[in-house]
């Protein structure tokens, strides 16, 4: 398990890496459309909303599928692919936070759960967060969706008590966060596209793409690596 949060584990070092190699990271610019254009160098892709205003020869759409679909459709050349991605079924992920207070901890930083709504529990106090804060994760659709917030908190706490074999204090505070389209539903009949699109120089990266894994962080990283390798293979040798 990492000893720091995911931002410090990868994105922050990646920004530093780019900065030392004359790369630029620009936040806060919303790309609303992608327009293939012709130029003296053989064409490119102009990004609507990009302050640079110039066409780019390689563009990677590394977004959630529900953002990728309209960007693909905006090219006028990816209607079939955009429609397929737009139709991907989604599954929610719910996180139940229990602030149990100082002195409360799990035997391990992360444990698997059975016989209840949650599948995993993370002890944030052992992972760089506040002592006594437990984060319990519920993946996919299920009976828990019919519960009220208060009932779900109670059911998750009761599940932990059964599994741990001890009573837990009433939470000092609790919070339930639901990401309704957290991941695609990885069923056998679901179409998962590859990294290439019908538009030369336009690529896809994300957890929803074809992979040996379900729609996970590992799948997203692998698609990004494959995308970078494919782009580098097209560049002229130096």
What are 164-178's pLDDT values in tens digits? 999 999 999 999 999
Q: The tokens 């490119």 sit on which residue?
A: 44
The CA-based dihedral angle spanning residues 68, 72, 74, 80, taken in that order and rounded to the nearest 10 degrees: -120
Query: Where would I find the H helices in the chain?
Result: 6-9, 11-19, 65-74, 79-86, 149-164, 217-234
For residue 221, the model assigns a pLDDT of 94
For residue 41, the model assigns a pLDDT of 63
For residue 237, the model assigns a pLDDT of 77
Q: How many CB atoms lie within 10 A of CB 34?
A: 26
What is the distance of C-alpha 172 from the center of its chain?
30
Q: Residues of the chain whose pLDDT is less than 50? A: none
Of the candidates 92, 93, 105, the residue with the CA atom closest to the CA atom of residue 137:
93
pTM of the model: 0.89
């Amino acid at each position: 398990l990492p000893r720091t949060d995911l931002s410090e584990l990868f994105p922050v070092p990646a920004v530093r890496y780019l900065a030392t190699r004359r790369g630029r990271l620009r936040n806060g610019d919303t790309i609303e459309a992608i327009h293939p254009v012709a130029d003296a160098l053989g064409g490119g892709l102009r990004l609507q909303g990009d302050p640079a205003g110039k066409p780019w020869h390689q563009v990677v759409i590394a977004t959630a599928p529900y953002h990728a679909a309209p960007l693909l459709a905006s090219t006028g050349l990816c209607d079939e692919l955009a429609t397929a991605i737009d139709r991907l079924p989604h599954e929610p992920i719910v996180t139940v936070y229990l602030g149990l207070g100082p002195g409360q901890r799990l035997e391990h930083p992360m444990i698997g759960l059975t016989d209840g709504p949650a599948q995993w529990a993370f002890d944030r106090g052992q992972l760089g967060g506040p002592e006594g804060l437990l984060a319990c994760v519920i993946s996919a659709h299920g009976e828990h969706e019919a519960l009220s917030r208060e009932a779900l908190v109670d059911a998750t706490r009761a599940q932990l008590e059964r599994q741990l074999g001890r009573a837990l204090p009433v939470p000092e505070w609790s919070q339930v966060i639901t990401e309704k389209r957290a991941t695609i539903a990885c069923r056998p009949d679901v179409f998962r596209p590859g990294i290439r699109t019908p538009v030369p120089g336009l690529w896809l990266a994300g957890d929803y793409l074809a992979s040996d894994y379900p729609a996970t962080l590992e799948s997203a990283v692998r698609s990004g690596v494959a995308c970078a390798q494919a782009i580098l293979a097209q560049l002229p040798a130096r």
